[in-house]
Structures are given as C-alpha cells and as structure tokens.
C-alpha cells in the first residue's frame, strides 16, 4: 500500500508531446504521476493529476492506452479529430464533475478555456489488453 498527498508528488512541466512522429509544443501543462504500474516509460496503468495553466493546451495526439479524464476545476475544451484527416470533428466543454473516456488511438486535444485561471483534472490510463495477454 502506498499513501501520499498529491501535492507531495513531484510535478513536471510537459514541453512537447509526439504526434505522428513530430514533437508538438505543449503549453502551460504540468503532470504529477499519482500511481503507476508496469514499465516506467510505458506503464500498464496510471493515475495522473494534470494542471493546465491559463491558456494551457495539449495539442492533437493519440496513444495506445485507454484514458478517462475527470475534471476537478476550471473549464476545459476537448476536441476529437478524424483519424484519417486530422480535421476536428467534435469539441466538448468540460467542467468540474464531468468525465470523458477516450478509446485507444483516438486523436484528441485538450485546452484550458480560461486565459486567467488554471484547470485541473485526474487522468486514469490503462493499456489495451489483447486475448494473448489474458
């Protein structure tokens, strides 16, 4: 068993995130890994605490794991994209108490709607299991 306070976990600023082999700039985004299991570079499970500062944004990206984000504070805008064209297909405003589930490899972005206040959310990730892994 591990018990800690979230504010005691190291916070890291995210500068870039890859999409289709290109490192894209990330704006005013900070992460705290609250828990994780599996390899450090590619965990099989993780719970992360994100802070997007005023104007913060994670650009279009995708990943092999499933993801659920639960909004704690602020207002966030999550955009879904067509996987073939990278064109936006839907944007959803998220406020405290909302959550959003993203399937594996689903292109998306998220940004803070406020230019003056931070927004926070919890993000739970889990790898895609195949029948071979069961």
Does residue 2 form part of some domain?
A: no
- Whole-structure pTM value: 0.91
Q: What distances in angstroms separate CA 84 from CA 9, 18, 81, 93, one per listed residue?
A: 38, 17, 9, 24
What pLDDT is attached to residue 129?
Answer: 58
What pLDDT is attached to residue 133?
Answer: 44
Does residue 58 form part of some domain?
A: yes
Number of domains, the chain: 1
Of the listed ranges 31-45, 63-77, 113-127, the least confidently predicted one is: 31-45
- What is the Cα–Cα distance from 90 to 108, expressed in whole angstroms? 9
- The range of the structural domain enclosing residue 56 comes to 31-99+122-134
64: CB partners within 8 A, 6+ apart: 104, 105, 127, 128
Does residue 4 form part of some domain?
A: no
pLDDT band at 71 (very low <50, low <70, confident <90, very high): very high
**Per-residue pLDDT tens digits for 93-111:** 999 999 999 999 999 999 9
Does residue 10 form part of some domain?
A: no
Q: What distances in angstroms separate CA 95 from CA 51, 69, 72, 73, 121, one per listed residue?
A: 14, 11, 8, 7, 10
């Amino acid at each position: 068993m591990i018990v800690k306070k979230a504010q005691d976990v190291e916070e890291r600023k995210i500068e870039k995130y890859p999409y289709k082999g290109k490192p894209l700039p990330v704006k005013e985004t900070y992460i705290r890994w609250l828990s994780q299991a599996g390899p450090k570079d590619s965990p099989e499970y993780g719970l992360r605490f994100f802070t997007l500062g005023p104007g913060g944004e994670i650009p279009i990206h995708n990943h092999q794991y499933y993801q659920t984000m639960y909004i704690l504070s602020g207002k966030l805008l999550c955009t879904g994209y067509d996987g073939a064209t990278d064109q936006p297909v839907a944007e959803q405003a998220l406020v405290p108490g909302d959550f959003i589930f993203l399937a594996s490899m689903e292109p998306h972005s998220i940004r803070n709607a406020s230019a003056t206040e931070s927004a926070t959310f919890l993000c739970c990730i889990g790898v895609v299991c195949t029948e071979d892994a069961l």
